[in-house]
Structure 1
């Protein structure tokens, strides 16, 4: 049986994403730039679990709820415009 999710494809996404460094096993430093979200230098992304379906902004690979992902750090005082984007943890090289 095909679900609605199986019919969704990744939208073309124009962004410059550079993983500067893996600071810890749970955090990345990312340089991010795109026309809608803006430019973030040395933005901290934290590892967590995807709560909603999405696509990896690095690879275009489908992300399902429960997958291990990195997302921009947010809190009550800091909510970046790119907060809903995700990187699959498996796509991040750990050299």
Structure 2
């Protein structure tokens, strides 16, 4: 069984929840569980080994644009992938 732990991310800032979630998933992995830490809106920033996946579950930029301008809800998959690209989200969030 795979454990997927969702964490919100903190837009390039240190976040207590991100540090906690990262430590929890790392401990689960050390105990032999198949655990994955998946950021939801923005990539996480931690001062320890980052065990999170590099892709985002829901990219914050894409979600925001879909809410404010309905035309963004009809974008092709390649455009969605670009808007969910972690370096772009990190740049916009900084």
Instruction: State if a TM-score over 0.5 links the two structures.
Output: no
TM-score calculated relative to the size of structure 2: 0.27
Q: Larger RCO: Structure 1 or Structure 2 (Cα < 8 Å, ≥ 6 residues apart)?
A: 2
Greater fraction strand: 1
Q: Which structure has the larger Rg?
A: 2
